[in-house]
């Protein structure tokens, strides 16, 4: 997680041009997955043709992230995070909790499907980091020899190599 943090952003208050938030650059889908945004938040982006959360969809993403009623997921309520501003302020360590939850979800999924070598900490770290960048499906696709860069030109294999190697 420390290596991922160093890779992603400069501070907890960072917001990039596509509206990914904080040190770990969480988007709407990830925030919904870990229980900060209400169920259906990602569906709003998808309905507007913005499922991939990009710079060109910033106005739609802003609509979701700036709506305090959307910050009503179970983890947001538990930690008292009721807005984008609370999340960016890392209220009650929200961002660190979020990355731990997402990493655990990714690890369990990759482990249960046999897509990670549990005897190799570099593979575990690399695959979890890759899943952070492109989702579990993107990590599996990379493992199969096909990968696609994110909107900023970063390939999953970059995370796999650079972050996975930092594990040991």
Q: Which of 1-15, 44-58, 93-107 has the highest mean pLDDT?
A: 93-107
Per residue in 50-93, pLDDT tens?
A: 977 899 999 999 999 999 999 999 999 999 999 999 999 999 99
74 CB neighbour count, 10 Å cutoff: 12
Give Rg (Cα) of the chain: 15
pLDDT band at 168 (very low <50, low <70, confident <90, very high): low
Distance CA 73, CA 42 (A): 13
Distance CA 86, CA 92 (A): 9
Question: Does pLDDT of 7 surpass 90?
Answer: no
Distance CA 71, CA 83 (A): 6
118, 88 Cβ separation under 8 angstroms: no
Position 167 scores a pLDDT of 64
166 CB neighbour count, 10 Å cutoff: 16
């Amino acid at each position: 997680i420390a290596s991922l943090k160093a890779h992603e952003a400069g501070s907890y208050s960072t917001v990039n041009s596509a509206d990914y938030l904080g040190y770990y650059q969480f988007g709407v889908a990830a925030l919904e997955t870990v229980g900060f945004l209400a169920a259906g938040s990602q569906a709003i982006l998808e309905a507007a043709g913005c499922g991939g959360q990009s710079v060109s969809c910033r106005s739609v993403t802003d609509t979701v992230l700036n709506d305090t009623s959307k910050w009503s997921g179970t983890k947001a309520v538990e930690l008292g995070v009721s807005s984008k501003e609370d999340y960016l302020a890392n209220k009650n360590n929200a961002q660190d909790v979020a990355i731990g939850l997402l990493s655990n979800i990714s690890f369990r999924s990759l482990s249960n499907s046999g897509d990670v070598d549990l005897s190799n900490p570099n593979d575990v770290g690399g695959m979890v980091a890759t899943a952070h960048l492109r989702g579990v499906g993107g990590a599996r696709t990379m493992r199969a020899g096909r990968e696609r860069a994110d909107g900023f030109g970063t390939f999953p294999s970059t995370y796999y190599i650079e972050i996975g190697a930092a594990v040991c």
